[in-house]
Amino acid sequence: MKLLRYGPLGQEKPGIVDDNGDIRDLSGVVSDINGESLSNHLDKIKATDINSLPIVEGDVRYGACVGNVGKFLCVGLNYADHAAESGMPIPAEPEIFTKATSAICGPFDDVIQPKNSDKLDWEVELAIVIGKHTSYVSEEEAEDYIAGYCVCNDVSERTFQLEQGSQWDKGKGCDTFGPIGPWLVTSDEVKDPNNLSMWLEVNGKRFQNGNTKTMVFKPAFIVSYLSQYMSLQSGDVISTGTPPGVGLGQTPPLYLKPGDKIALSIEGLGEQSQTVVEYTQ
């Protein structure tokens, strides 16, 4: 299933994509696509005759594909070639950081360049969405705890991240730095999350062109690893790292500026696009 949330910011409704690519309104089945519905109502959604649901007409805003996210966790340097372009060693264990949940936005919403930002960067990433309470699970068990996957743009401000102290979170958690969606694709429709092609373009030029098969730590391992240190709850999002081709790795480095247009996609999970805009108060 391709689950989504649509409508104005703060007023999103649950939806599902039918076989013709139309959005069907799920409001009569669940109240939202969030932790509660993922843990308790996925079977109810699966049992619903999608073609009996109302079609959503006209152009609509896509919201973040998961609502009320409790934790937004990320894995850094999880592609060996990206670590190399960043001038950093491949970590022996997953490099974990967080993005503020207030960074989450829709897949086609504008990316706002923060005040005092001069090194705004892009990162296409596969994100895991947790489906049920997860604690101390093995790698073999971990896939049973994954509700599905989505596209994430791990927007980053490199000055904040790398030049102003040792905490990455400052450069990762600004407003609009976490577009997720357009859909949450349930695990049963993702044949092999360890072999998905992915790309990102800026102003029509392709900078990232990778595949999840080159990840150092695979999704099931990441879920198992994190569950040894914290419980994961339904609706939590884990972004799993980016392949090479980020702005930081260009020669010379290249960063986003207002007016730039970003497009990104992961095989089977849909496509996002954003325009960079200047912060205004």
Sequence ranges of the domains in the chain: 2-52, 72-278
What is the pLDDT at residue 166? 79
* Dist. CA 2–CA 32, nearest whole Å: 14
What is the pLDDT at residue 87? 81
What is the pLDDT at residue 179? 98
What is the pLDDT at residue 109? 98
What is the pLDDT at residue 82? 78
Contact 105, 179 (CB under 8 A): yes
Query: Apex CA 57: angle with CA 42 and CA 128, to 5°?
Result: 35
| Residue 214 DSSP SS3 | helix
What is the pLDDT at residue 16? 98
Q: What backbone torsions phi and psi does residue 5 show, to the nearest 5 degrees?
A: -130, 135
Residues recorded for the chain: 281
What is the pLDDT at residue 90? 83
Tokens of 216: 């150092």
CATH of 72-278, one of 3.90.1150.10, 3.40.50.720, 3.40.50.150, 3.90.850.10: 3.90.850.10
* Dist. CA 239–CA 126, nearest whole Å: 6
User: pLDDT by residue for the chain (281 residues), tens digit each?
Assistant: 999 999 999 999 999 999 999 999 999 999 999 999 999 999 999 999 999 999 999 999 999 999 999 999 999 989 987 777 778 788 899 999 999 999 999 999 999 999 999 999 999 999 999 999 999 999 999 999 999 999 999 999 999 999 998 788 899 999 999 999 999 999 999 999 999 999 999 999 999 999 999 999 999 999 999 999 999 999 999 999 999 999 999 999 999 999 999 999 999 999 999 999 999 98
Tokens of 224: 């198992």
Tokens 């013709």 belong to which residue?
A: 20
Contact 181, 107 (CB under 8 A): yes
| Residue 270 DSSP SS3 | strand
Full-prediction pTM beyond 0.85? yes
What is the pLDDT at residue 119? 98
Contact 160, 100 (CB under 8 A): no
What is the pLDDT at residue 19? 95
